[in-house]
Amino acid sequence: MSREAADRGRTGPPVIEPGHTYASVTDKISSIVLARRTPLFWILGFFLSFLVVMALLAAISWLLARGLGIWGINQPVEWAFDIINFVWWIGIGHAGTLISAILLLMRQEWRTSINRFAEAMTLFAVACAGLFPLLHLGRPWLAYWLIPYPNTMALWPQWRSPLVWDVFAISTYGIVSFLFWFVGLIPDLATLRDRARRKGFQILYGMLAMGWRGSALHWHRYDMAYLLLAGLATPLVISVHTVVSFDFAVSIIPGWHSTIFPPYFVAGAIYAGFAMVLLLAIPLRVVYGLEDFITLRHLQNMAKILLATGLIVGYGYVMEVFMAWYSANPYEEFMIANRMRGPYAPIYWSLMLCNIVAPQSLWFRRVRSSPPALFGIAIIVSIGMWLERFMIVVTSLHRDFLPSSWGMYSPTIWEWTTFIGTIGLFLALMFLFIRFLPMISIFEMRTLVPAAGPLAKQPVPDESVAGEAT
């Protein structure tokens, strides 16, 4: 694998364009943040996404005023957009952790220029995801009942419920993602502190950098902390989507009660997440002129991951059909037949088109090297993954064991507003992030500069560190 990667490195595009120095890397990335003039597209983009956030607030206010009845959920489909969007957003977040933690441990140094904004993407996606189960509680102001604390009701959470596991998994994931992101930011905040010209920003970045001075002794511990965080985040990210899939798999509903769910969900999460990273990276590198740092090599590698995880997801779809037949369980067989030919059949077939057929074009190098084509495929995959969640949630619930309790589900305008509103929230947060924080890790980019040579130390397990860790 590494030899193959090295071979490709000789022939393919580089991870950083030649000619850069420590200073040029530092100046280029920090100038995006420290520039006095805010670019016009930023103002426009932020304004538009802010409008959508206002729509989200309106939808939430109306929900709190009137209750869950304004949504289309009812028996037998008691879960719909709230859980679909929750799973979709959480999945998107997973690519950020994969890039920052798993690729770090695997010494994939191309991750360096995309890890920072992918981590930010994770944080914001988790924030959007968290809204949905909270709102679905009906009385969100009692959400703290989910946390174990000594209370006068003498009640505890139900430890055997996957929904309670979810609370712990998602909060842990949110906190650890934030820690990982912030620890990575500390040296860059120090750079911004030292380079800011305006007093206010010097103080702001200075406080956030906490007095970081690049001491070798500090780097020594910093490397270890970063490495350990990566080692902790790796099993965590796998566990989070596994627990999310338990929300379904632990129940006995046909189409949910399946052992393939954990790996199938994790692969789907990474699939959706890399699509979102591509959706963000492709416009960002153009508008900020970052093609030197986010090169075609990055886009090609992400396209390959997209293809690989897409194939795993495709395997999941095939296995669902196979197991329905092989189990000889009439309810499972009916569930698949209903997905393929029932009232929601268009969802099923568009999902197959989006998630299995469209990504096959990534086998061709020409497609992998074309940013517009990748952007298009990433949009298709994002839609496909959303449809997949819709299929899993709605088609399994709406016709289960008793035909007398069958029903149909369709979302109301409030569900759509809430969903689109979270996309606006996500974009608004991303816009704020790229304006006020370095979207590419400056200190890690310095290690990619050719002059740094073999002395540059990526915080990856090297001999001395590995010896210590064991």
Partner 1 sequence: MSSHAVPGRPSIWGLLAEFERPENLVAAAARAREAGYRKMDAYTPFPIHGLSEALGFRPTKLPFVVLAGGLIGGVTALGMMWYSATIHYPLNVAGRPLASWPMFIPITFELTVLFAALSAVFGMLGMNGLPMPYHPVFNAPRFALASRDRFFLCIEGRDTLFDMETTRAFLSGLGAREVVEVEE
- Interactions with partner 1, residue window 164-203 (CB under 8 A): 164-165, 168-169, 171-172, 175-176, 179-180, 182-183, 187, 190-191, 193-195
Tokens of 227: 């490495």
Which DSSP symbol is given to 437?
S
Shortest distance in whole angstroms from residue 144 CB to partner 1: 16
Q: Find the binder of partner 1 among 61, 151, 215, 327 (CB under 8 A).
A: 215
Measured from the CB atom, the residue of 152 and 404 that comes closer to partner 1 is 152
Q: Give how far the C-alpha of residue 105 lies from the chain's centroid of Cα atoms, to the nearest Å.
A: 19
Residue 296 Cα distances to 21, 26, 110, 291, 371, angstroms: 20, 21, 11, 8, 8
Find out whether 444 and 226 touch, Cβ atoms under 8 Å: no
Q: Find the binder of partner 1 among 63, 73, 80, 229 (CB under 8 A).
A: 229
Residue of 83, 79, 78, 75 lying closest to 265 (CA atoms): 83
Candidates 89-97, 218-226, 328-336, 356-364 — which segment interacts with partner 1 by CB under 8 A? 218-226
Tokens of 317: 């779809």
Measured from the CB atom, the residue of 59 and 189 that comes closer to partner 1 is 189
Residue of 240, 105, 222, 238 lying closest to 175 (CA atoms): 240
What residues from 442 to 461 belong to the interface with partner 1 (CB under 8 A)?
A: 443-444, 446-447, 451-457, 459
Residue 36 and residue 121: Cα distance in Å, rounded? 25
424-443 footprint of partner 1 as x/- string (CB under 8 A): -------------------x
Shortest distance in whole angstroms from residue 468 CB to partner 1: 4
Measured from the CB atom, the residue of 210 and 408 that comes closer to partner 1 is 210
Measured from the CB atom, the residue of 372 and 454 that comes closer to partner 1 is 454
**Burial of 344: CB neighbours in 10 Å, binned 0-12, 13-18, 19+:** buried
Measured from the CB atom, the residue of 109 and 415 that comes closer to partner 1 is 109
| Site membership for partner 1, residue 304 (CB under 8 A) | no
Shortest distance in whole angstroms from residue 449 CB to partner 1: 9
Measured from the CB atom, the residue of 231 and 376 that comes closer to partner 1 is 231
Q: Which residues contact 387 (CB under 8 A, 6 or more apart)?
A: 347, 350, 351, 354, 355
Q: Which residues contact 176 (CB under 8 A, 6 or more apart)?
A: 229, 232, 233, 236
Measured from the CB atom, the residue of 424 and 459 that comes closer to partner 1 is 459
Find out whether 101 and 95 touch, Cβ atoms under 8 Å: no
Find out whether 294 and 113 touch, Cβ atoms under 8 Å: yes
Shortest distance in whole angstroms from residue 13 CB to partner 1: 23
Measured from the CB atom, the residue of 69 and 148 that comes closer to partner 1 is 148
Shortest distance in whole angstroms from residue 118 CB to partner 1: 18
Residue of 131, 190, 253, 145 lying closest to 441 (CA atoms): 190
Find out whether 306 and 359 touch, Cβ atoms under 8 Å: yes
What residues from 15 to 44 belong to the interface with partner 1 (CB under 8 A)?
A: 21-23, 26-27
Q: Find the binder of partner 1 among 155, 200, 346, 404 (CB under 8 A).
A: 155
Shortest distance in whole angstroms from residue 267 CB to partner 1: 20
First to last CA, the chain: 25
Residue 113 and residue 442: Cα distance in Å, rounded? 9
| Count of residues that bind partner 1 according to CB under 8 A | 71
Whose structure tokens read 């606006």? 424
Residue 381 and residue 276: Cα distance in Å, rounded? 9
SS3 of 74, please? strand
Shortest distance in whole angstroms from residue 259 CB to partner 1: 15
230-259 footprint of partner 1 as x/- string (CB under 8 A): --xx-xx--x---x--x-------------
Residue 318 and residue 75: Cα distance in Å, rounded? 29
Residue of 231, 237, 238 lying closest to 468 (CA atoms): 231
Q: Find the binder of partner 1 among 2, 75, 152, 464 (CB under 8 A).
A: 464
Shortest distance in whole angstroms from residue 190 CB to partner 1: 5
What residues from 115 to 154 belong to the interface with partner 1 (CB under 8 A)?
A: 148, 154
Shortest distance in whole angstroms from residue 212 CB to partner 1: 7
Q: Find the binder of partner 1 among 42, 201, 219, 416 (CB under 8 A).
A: 219
